Structure 1
């Protein structure tokens, strides 16, 4: 597999096309043909058009007012202005029926506008867009067997301009909401402060103490991990046996598993060219080296994916195949777990199912890491972030690839350029405030300029970013308002490129991580 793991920007939202619909009256009741919502379904949103009461009736908002000029329909819409520490969120809790399918939609305008639902009892949906004209967002979800209420939300992004929303609806089984009584317009009215303090993207910190949640099970691993990918191929970097990987690496991710012809299926073969370059590195020696690393307290896992990885887990059948074949490889080679580095999309539901099944078989000591691209972790509504939260109970660490990215938004709402300490800290902050434990957040960096197309930072910059997140020291222009002394660690692509570059990651970053309190 080629070593450079190039970012492939993908749309992290999709507008789900439903059946043709006719909107009747201000209640937003939808009648459609058999391919979408049917006549028995109703709109469960109260005041989805923001036309009644104080025009925010039914909604709980942090920074919203009625909008009378730029509306999608009717006389009013919602205008909300995010702040530096606030997404401008509006929420509404709705009564639903268990094991039922619902379609959530709304018309929005502005930069980074999100629409979604929480507490569905299944995979919580979220979709977003950036637009200069009203654009329809739509998503679907199915409630859990015991779910009777969900919270619908709208929000923008930290520090961004105001966003507008109108004609929000939630179509599905239930009792229709009566329309509130209209009153005199109150343009200066605002909703009451939101009480949830959570969101997607993540809530910002308020200067409160670091969360106290701790790892559920990390036997044999230090508090701060150094993860390195080991290349099962020769691409110009230093060729290595597993035994050649420096002891500074706590987790070694063998790159990569191969896809089989069966959906979700995995296989692995030691590369014959690499074996030849190493003077005849046999499979038996490879397994013996893995066993020796494990005896020394290290973890060796099998990475699934890479830039050209084609493993797809998007059904129950493929999830079962993934778990079965991954478990067989773990037992055959002695791998402690798996790394998910799929760069062409993941399905949080089915891959989560596969990983939970695999973790249950492996038991105590199972190691699960992921290496999403930066675009994949910009919001809790993306599939990769959903996956991380879905498997949080068995997840060791997420090592986001902070390279090959260009510029990205941080949790401060500012655009940051790759290759800087601010890029590492402001983007990691999104995950730290989005539901992952501090020990589950790592900084993925290239070992040299040859290891990636862009985004290289020196080992000293990586250490500064770790210090900034853990203790609020050595920060750049961005300084988080919360400290995370339990920050998970760092990852590099790859141990081979690090060796070629003189071992700066193993020597400088590794020693720094292991000296951190």
Structure 2
């Protein structure tokens, strides 16, 4: 166990100081935007929902994002620190977790060897100030292996985990990589290896990869693409099977530490939306029948689940309504 002295602000003994246990729970996870309304890929508009009003079906909320030059950080965009923490406490009292998500598509994070302690201190400070229950690594593109990110971030997270373990708490460590980075030799492999005995779950993004996919020899045609809506159920099933078994060129992630990541609306991602939720149910049922029931589902994002399309029609929590019951 790594030991060090943290000298920053300490959390009060309130509801937000709890870290809920998810070791035996299914997970229905959604990302939450720490910014105002924004336009989507099809001209729609995100919704706004306070943390405390997020539907209870979302038992894990990942706040986007912790980022910035130097040591990345976080600040609520429209709330005081105290009010943000109070709302985190509302979810914690319900047994729900609130994570801070590190990265995002536009994050230019560049950590260097020797900054492990500084990053660990900042993560702990954010936990103590805001009540976060863990951290989700959501680095994308060049940021994944830029500078020394893939060694500094795992080392810092191990220090944070050990710090809270010494207090009898479990700090959650999760990741949401785009699935191509999980191929053998992929950019996320160093994170998986360094945190092999530490991560709680991985939520691969099954969106924004267009024609990328995987080859399944027993199928004809054998190539399954992420943006093929007709063969979507096969894609969901065979890609997940490859990942939870470590076959077809992908690394292995245990099914009980695996969440399938899907867009919540056609506006949420450039491609990858599942038009018929029954495709996902078929895949999940088949995985369960195989003895590989996954831990849950993740979506980008809660704000798109309550957003509107280009005509102003509400998405009306479609993802939550259709999918939350699939992982019970």
Q: Which residue of 2 aligns with 1:389?
A: 193
Trace 1:227-242 onto structure 2 (pairs within 5 A).
Answer: 227-234=29-36, 235=38, 236-242=45-51
- Write the distance in 2 (CA, Å) between the matches of 1:509 and 1:226: 9
User: Aligned in 2, Cα 1:242/1:218: closer, same or farther, shift over 3 Å?
Assistant: closer
Q: 1:499 aligns with which of 285, 302, 306?
A: 306
Q: Which structure's relative contact order is higher, taking Cα pairs within 8 Å and 6+ residues apart?
A: 2
- Write the distance in 1 (CA, Å) between the matches of 2:265 and 2:204: 17
Q: Contact 1:221 / 1:297 at 8 angstroms: preserved in 2?
A: no
Aligned with 2:177: secondary structure?
A: coil
Aligned with 1:266: secondary structure?
A: coil
Shift of 1:411: 6.5
- Write the distance in 1 (CA, Å) between the matches of 2:224 and 2:26: 25
Q: Which residue of 2 aligns with 1:18?
A: none
Shift of 1:390: 2.4
Q: 1:508 aligns with which of 319, 322, 328?
A: 322
Q: Which residue of 1 aligns with 2:21?
A: 219
- Matched pairs, number: 274
Shift of 1:366: 1.2
Q: C-alpha offsets along residues 229-254 of structure 1, whole Å, 9 cap, x if unaligned? A: 00111213111110121101121000
Q: Contact 1:411 / 1:427 at 8 angstroms: preserved in 2?
A: no
Pick the structure with more helix per residue: 2
> Superposition RMSD on alpha carbons, in Å?
2.1
User: Aligned in 2, Cα 1:460/1:269: closer, same or farther, shift over 3 Å?
Assistant: same
Q: Contact 1:218 / 1:396 at 8 angstroms: preserved in 2?
A: no
Unaligned runs of at least 5 residues, structure 1: 1-216, 276-280, 473-482
Q: Contact 1:411 / 1:429 at 8 angstroms: preserved in 2?
A: no
* TM-score, scaled relative to structure 2: 0.78
* TM-score, scaled relative to structure 1: 0.50
Q: C-alpha offsets along residues 82-132 of structure 1, whole Å, 9 cap, x if unaligned? A: xxxxxxxxxxxxxxxxxxxxxxxxxxxxxxxxxxxxxxxxxxxxxxxxxxx
Q: Which residue of 2 aligns with 1:361?
A: 163
Q: Contact 1:221 / 1:250 at 8 angstroms: preserved in 2?
A: no
- Write the distance in 1 (CA, Å) between the matches of 2:267 and 2:110: 29
- Write the distance in 1 (CA, Å) between the matches of 2:106 and 2:224: 27
Q: Which residue of 1 aligns with 2:111?
A: 313
- Write the distance in 2 (CA, Å) between the matches of 1:290 and 1:228: 15
Trace 1:61-210 onto structure 2 (pairs within 5 A).
Answer: none
Q: C-alpha offsets along residues 420-453 of structure 1, whole Å, 9 cap, x if unaligned? A: 1222222222321233221111111100000011
Q: Larger Cα Rg: Structure 1 or Structure 2?
A: 1
Q: Contact 2:65 / 2:100 at 8 angstroms: preserved in 1?
A: yes
Unaligned runs of at least 5 residues, structure 2: 1-18, 39-44, 247-251, 308-314
Q: 1:254 aligns with which of 54, 63, 69?
A: 63
